Amino acid sequence: MQGKVNFVMLRHGSSVANEGQRFGGWEDVGLAERGIEQARHAGRLLRDTQTRWDIAFTSSLQRAIQTLDHCMAELIDPLPTVSDWRLNERHYGRLQGMSKAEAASLYGAECVQAWRRSFRARPPQLTFDEYLSVAGSQVRIPRGESLMDTQQRVLGCWRDRIHPALMSRQKSSRQTRRFVGNKGRRCRPSLSCFPFPMP
């Protein structure tokens, strides 16, 4: 008998970058006060389902980790957590840390809109010197990503870690609950390629 699998995706709470209308990307900013309350509210909603969750996956960015921490503070039992950089926000290249208005003034509103919404268009890439200054030994850091690039990166984590964890419990009779902290705008292109082979 196969168990039922429940899978929740949660956007991180409002960050300092969100509050300032800035491109966050891989800029490692924390949650704003509003984001902390959003995370705790999400935790209370999950607690009210009276479900015992098994495991949580999160990106390596502080806003996602803090969201998970505040969310779990509202749950009855703490969760084992897996952090993976492949769940990080889309890398916005040279736009990171820039406000939406600053980007539109520098590059033009139409270009910025295309970079944000097009599936294949990449934002201006970090220069090699800029890349070296932030990458250090983390050789996998991108210089700037399209939505397609982000989708492929997240899909790698899905195939390697999340999907096997789901399926390992689906084969048992135990009901399995998995929880993934994620970013709303990145969830949409990611979900379009997730092959959910569930009952």
Domain boundaries, the chain: 5-191
One of 12, 27, 91, 145 is an active-site residue; which one?
12
Q: Catalytic annotation on 12?
A: yes
- Tell me what pLDDT residue 90 has: 94
Higher pLDDT, 58 or 180: 58
- Other CB atoms within a 10 A radius of the CB of residue 106 amount to 13
User: Can you read off the two tokens belonging to residue 133?
Assistant: 């200054």
The highest-level CATH class for domain 5-191 is alpha beta
Is the entire prediction scored with pTM above 0.95? no
Q: Does 94 score more than 60 pLDDT?
A: yes
Q: What is the mean pLDDT of the chain?
A: 83
Q: Does 195 score more than 80 pLDDT?
A: no
One of 27, 70, 89, 145 is an active-site residue; which one?
89
Q: Catalytic annotation on 70?
A: no
Q: Does 136 score more than 70 pLDDT?
A: no
